Amino acid sequence: MLDINMIRENPEIVKKSLEIRQMDTTPVDRILQLDLERRSALNDTETLKAQRNSVSKEISQIKDAEERKKKIEAMRVVGDQISDLDQHVKKIEEELKSLLLYIPNIPNPEVPYGISDAENVVLRQEGEKKAFDFEPIPHWDIGTNLGIIDFERGVKLTGTRFYVLNGQGARLQRALIAFMLDLHIRQGYNERYTPFMVKNEILYGSGQLPKFRDNLYHDAEEDFWWVPTAEVPLTGLYMNEIIDEDSLPMRFTAYTPCFRREKMSAGRDVRGIKRGHQFDKVEMYCYSLPEKSKDELDRMLNAAEETCKALGLTYHIVAQCSGDLGFNAQVCYDIEVWAPGCKEWLEVSSVSNDGDFQSRRASIRYREKSSGKPRFLHTLNGSGLGLPRTLIAVLENYQQPDGSVVVPDVLKPWMGGIERITKEA
């Protein structure tokens, strides 16, 4: 959430931010109008309250009963006016908060301008696309031929965009998750195992609600929400708390399944297991001092890159343009790995610096040692990495002419002696 003082003092900056995100700027004018009305109403309320306090003192000294009665009646009218103004202020504040919750973060000046993801900027590539002496096939054929991906039973159990991983395929996915968590722990991130469902206010604090309500799964009876990413509970861990400055930075990693109402249409983009309503992800998260958050962004990006390098995957780094930038983010970098069977780059990580946007929504502050005052900290998040796209890249890059898949060396400790995935019996 943006600081109302900043919007009040720099409305043109906020409008420009919305413009480069390809969004309507008129809510800013309404916010300014409501802010002015709210302050005016509060001023009127304080004036009436001061008047009531002053007259109350006078009443205690009035001896004439009739005069006292008139004063009391007049103050009863003033009390009704105060009550009406309080209700008016409450109504204004509700609309004001609702509008503020829909205003996205202000992009960093280094974010390239663009209308859509088609204008994202590839900054660099690491590694070369693997050369094969045979025509590589896509993961949906690899998985079906080996019997490790069962699309039919996924549909039978739940419906379209669901699948079942069998035997060695399930173990490979589990190995990827364990490898990533252990790697991030060595990189200085502390593991957390969090609930896969959270309360309403946790999603507001993390910036998922109200804007992305239609993409979330909700249990209306218990008012639980299935998490769309571990970023949500990791934000909520310290919601409404003040952290000692000496405790920062606080770096976390967590595995969660993720649940999202993906709006999908038929076509190449949704074939196989690339996109679904349920998927696994290992997340990195950081609470940082404001002046250190840029360094933490570099650190997190390097950590995600190290994961790709350890798996032997070719990848490139992409700077999200303004039109594709996430709602919470000031700046975001995507990591996309090459999948030779699909013949496309697959996004496996987005690493973002959200500044104090989330911490304002979730009221997460740190106590500054020099002043003793609580201040909003910065939050950062990044996939490290997302599945199943990492699984897709491993299957397609390590496929062999006989249809088997070689297990990457870094995953072998979790594969129980399996070095090559072969057809399930």
Rounded to the nearest 10 degrees, what angle do helices 26-59 and 11-20 cross at? 150
As a whole number of angstroms, the distance between CA 204 and CA 192 comes to 21
Amino acid at 330: Q
Binding residues for L-serine: 229-231, 260, 283, 381, 383
Residues forming beta bridges with residue 278, ordered by sequence position: 259
How many CA atoms lie less than 13 Å away from 245 in the CB half-sphere? 13
What is the total residue count of the chain?
425
Amino acid at 386: G
Three-state DSSP class for 250? strand
As a whole number of angstroms, the distance between CA 27 and CA 15 comes to 9
DSSP per residue over 22-70, as a string?
T---HHHHHHHHHHHHHHHHHHHHHHHHHHHHHHHHHHTT---HHHHHH
Binding residues for ATP: 260-262, 347-350
CA distances from 126 to 112, 129, 131, 336 (A): 21, 9, 15, 10
Burial of 407 (0-12, 13-18, 19+ CB in 10 A): buried
Bond prior to 104 in cis (omega within 30° of 0): no
CA distances from 196 to 47, 209, 229, 232, 359 (A): 50, 16, 9, 10, 21
Binding residues: 229-231, 260-262, 283, 347-350, 381, 383
